[in-house]
Amino acid sequence: MKVSVIIVSYNFEQWIDRCLGSLRRSTSPISVIVVDNGSKDNTTQILEKNYPEVHLIKTGANLGFGKANNIGIRYAMEQGADYFFLLNQDAWIDEDTIEILLALFEKHPEYGILSPAHLNGKGDKPDFGFSTYSGIKEKEEFLSLQKDNEVVSLRFINAAFWMISIKAIKDLGGFCPLFFHYGEDIDYINRLHYHGYMLGYSPHVFGYHDRENREISRETFLRSEKIYLLSEYANINYSFYKAFGYGILAGIKKAMIALKKGKVANSLTFINISIGLLCKTKQVLQMTNKNRKKALNYI
């Protein structure tokens, strides 16, 4: 089985050695593709000098997470890849991660995406995002899961460490251009479930995600709300009326709640978000109809 690891980079310099060093130690043969989104630091120079085994694609501009990954996936398919391992630039893996995930795919073809368990950069606790949607609060909890579980199914796993089968890629295609940066993984998993695939992780291997659990600012909160409402409006598992209610009407409701709390600026932002979503209705419907068909979309 041929595995292509795809990394989208932007100012990758501080993580290059940890990320690519872990891939060099992989017990399973892999090829590595880095799609650079116009880094301003020494990323491309370091890759060309120190990592000649890496196939570097320079986009020359920040195309966003989804589009850059689609470029990498297309190149990997041209090279005959059977599996695609999407890896964040600020992340690294255990040496046997890919080997074990490959074995699990062979035993469990009902899964379209598999992931290792996500730890923080220090490796002493679950990544804060992973902890939220998995319910795992301490690293030791994975030990008990290991006794009875090869794979743990979840409804969502963020795209820091995704291994995707070629079958799922051919049925779902790549990331939808409705989402530029953030929300791409939510949308893709909605599509994954719609087309009958399962999603899960192995508690036997780990990925390490070097990101901070920062205090959420007002701007970050409102951006996440915008992305969430768009992902609800574009959710192909909903009827149009349900999507309209969970997307646009939910935004208006949030505006009213904010207004009652005296947060006028937030209320106006939610109104603007809802209006923006309404203006995207034609595009959302076009993408939704496209995503309901099994096809190699966006690649």
Gap between the Cα atoms of 95 and 202, Å rounded: 14
**Eight-class DSSP state of 216:** P
Q: What b/e string do you get for 120-137 counting C-beta neighbours within 10 Å, with b at 16 or more?
A: bbeeebbbebbbeebebe
Number of domains, the chain: 2
Q: What percent of the chain has pLDDT over 90?
A: 93
DSSP secondary structure string for all residues of 72-117: HHHHHHHTT-SEEEEE-TTEEE-TTHHHHHHHHHHH-TTEEEEEEE
Same domain, residue pair 258 and 279: yes
Answer whether residue 193 is part of any domain.
yes
Same domain, residue pair 147 and 95: yes
DSSP secondary structure string for all residues of 169-184: HHHH-S--TT-SSSSH
pLDDT per position as a tens digit, 76-95: 999 999 999 999 999 999 99
* Mean per-residue pLDDT over the chain, rounded: 96
Residue 192 pLDDT > 90, yes or no?
yes
pLDDT per position as a tens digit, 89-125: 999 999 999 999 999 999 999 999 999 999 999 999 9
What's the distance, CA 69 to chain centroid? 10
Give, in order, the Cα–Cα distances in Å from 141 to each of 134, 138, 146, 148.
11, 6, 9, 12
Rounded to two decimals, what is the model's pTM?
Answer: 0.94
CATH number of the domain within which 48 lies: 3.90.550.10
The three-class DSSP label of residue 203 is: strand
pLDDT per position as a tens digit, 2-44: 999 999 999 999 999 999 999 999 999 999 999 999 999 999 9
Same domain, residue pair 193 and 70: yes
CB 162 within 8 A of CB 86: yes
- Which of 209, 241, 271 is at the close of a domain? 209
CB 152 within 8 A of CB 106: no
25 is in which domain, residue-wise? 3-209
